Amino acid sequence: MRVKIGDQMVDSEDKPVMIILSPEEKKMISNMGWQTQFCCFPKDYDPQKIIKFMKEI
């Protein structure tokens, strides 16, 4: 598993990674189907910045 926080990437092959999900996030992830990326962000964050952020891996 890899986790991206800001501009830092953490790989669980290198160090432990823990993700704490809210009940709503659990629900969203259970319906992801074939998708392999999930991103949470502040409500007032620019959607175009999120798209760019998720493409930069």
pLDDT, the chain, mean: 91
Partners of 10 in the β-ladder: 3
Q: What is the pLDDT of residues 1-21, one digit of tens each?
A: 999 999 999 999 999 999 999
Average pLDDT of the segment spanning 35-56: 90
Q: Are residues 53 and 39 in contact, defined by beta-carbon separation less than 8 angstroms?
A: yes
Q: Cα 20 to chain center, whole Å? A: 11
Q: What is the pLDDT of residue 56?
A: 87
Portion of the chain with pLDDT greater than 70, in percent: 100
